[in-house]
Amino acid sequence: MTFPPTPVRIAQAAEESVPIELRAVGTVEPQASVEVKSQVAGPLMSVRFTEGANVRKDDLLFEIDSRPYRDALRRAEADITRDQAQLRQAEARLARDQAQLRNAQADAERFQQLAAQGLAPRMQEAQIRTAAEVAVQAVRADEAEIESIRAALESSRATVARAELELSYCEIRSPISGRAGNVLVHPGNLVQANGDNPLVVINQISPIFATFGVPERYLATIAQKNSGRKLAVRASIDSAGSTGSAADQSSTGTLSVIDNTVAPNTGTIRLKAVFNNADGRLWPGQFVNVVLTLDRQTAIVIPAESVQAGQQGSFVYVVKADQTVEPRPVTTGQTYSGKVIIESGIAAGETVVTDGQSRLFPGAKIQPQSEQGS
């Protein structure tokens, strides 16, 4: 009995330059994550941003009641004014006592000469000398008082600086640019300084990281390849249920960090890739499929749909010159862009069946339909 030719689609095995890739499941991490807390205590007056919105560094986020801190600043500034007035008074006293000291010293020298010539009593000369010594001590006391006032003035200035700093803390600004999360404390609540709970968490998502692990046997190769150039990394989210294709959901970045320790419990090395993420496609905490491209190689490739699963392993239907087919076992490598690498079993130029295999058997005659390119 002769069977009519079976209509099938075919394609030729081709030799192509293909990437050498490592695949893993990774986790997206923000480049920076900040828990925003208050550095002063007081009632929370207002929230100045929208939950879930992008914020820039130094944008105003929260306002704390600033009235007690403004009062503290005014008191500190008043202390400076008082200390400056006291300093001017002490400097005036010092100038007066220095003038009196000069006069006393001049009188002491004159009476000393007169006493030596016998023209002045010794007792009067001793009194004048004592007055000069008293003037010296008065000047020293004035100088010590001035040093004390200057120290108090510096302390008051430090208090003003501290009060100004605490007043500035009443306006809580964003320390980084990123995406704000949910507001965790609402206006009207009393905020503690450096409390346990943050007011909001801000994640920097552009650029963003993806961390993943690969078997430690690839460590030397990865380190060698990465030393000469930045290795390309592609991350894609699970497209199940998505209207876009997997290609539409992928982001391209570069390998940035190779961990310094192999995890002993899993035998893997942790890697970190950085992505620009300007479109916000990657999100902190998200699981992604990661593809690390190590290099390129020349290999035989065929359409992935050509490979069938059999009891003895993978096989393909090869089209012979007389337009009949034979099943041939193959050893497959990685898959990329709808193609699979054939490590053994198929040579370049051979023709394989890509569609219609379910109706074939060894020696079946085929009728090729429109051919597919490799």
**Sorting pLDDT into bands at 50, 70 and 90, what band is 248?**
low
Please compute Rg for the chain using Cα positions: 43
Burial class (CB in 10 A: 0-12, 13-18, 19+), 132: buried
Q: Count CA atoms within 13 Å of residue 133 on its CB side.
A: 6
First to last CA, the chain: 35
Cis peptide before 207 (omega within 30 of 0): yes
Res 118: pLDDT:
61
Burial class (CB in 10 A: 0-12, 13-18, 19+), 111: buried
**Sorting pLDDT into bands at 50, 70 and 90, what band is 277?**
very high
User: Given phi > 0 = left and psi -120 to 50 = alpha, else beta, which region is 280?
Assistant: left
**Sorting pLDDT into bands at 50, 70 and 90, what band is 126?**
low
Mean pLDDT in residue range 211-222: 92
**Sorting pLDDT into bands at 50, 70 and 90, what band is 296?**
confident
User: Given phi > 0 = left and psi -120 to 50 = alpha, else beta, which region is 338?
Assistant: left
Mean pLDDT in residue range 220-247: 76
Res 336: pLDDT:
78
Q: What is the dihedral of CA 197, 202, 208, 212, to 10 degrees?
A: 20
Measured between alpha carbons, how far is 360 from 43 in angstroms, rounded to an integer? 79
Judge whether residue 373 has pLDDT over 60.
no
Residue 182 dihedral angles phi and psi, to the nearest 5°: -75, 145
Judge whether residue 247 has pLDDT over 50.
no
Tokens of 99: 């003038």
What stretch of H or E contains 189? none
User: What's the pTM?
Assistant: 0.69
**Sorting pLDDT into bands at 50, 70 and 90, what band is 67?**
very high
**Sorting pLDDT into bands at 50, 70 and 90, what band is 243?**
very low
Q: CB–CB of 372/9 below 8 Å?
A: yes
Q: Domains in the chain, please, with CATH?
A: 6-18+299-368 (2.40.420.20), 20-30+203-296 (2.40.30.170), 38-63+172-197 (2.40.50.100), 68-168 (1.10.287)
Mean pLDDT in residue range 353-362: 89
Measured between alpha carbons, how far is 219 from 269 in angstroms, rounded to an integer? 7
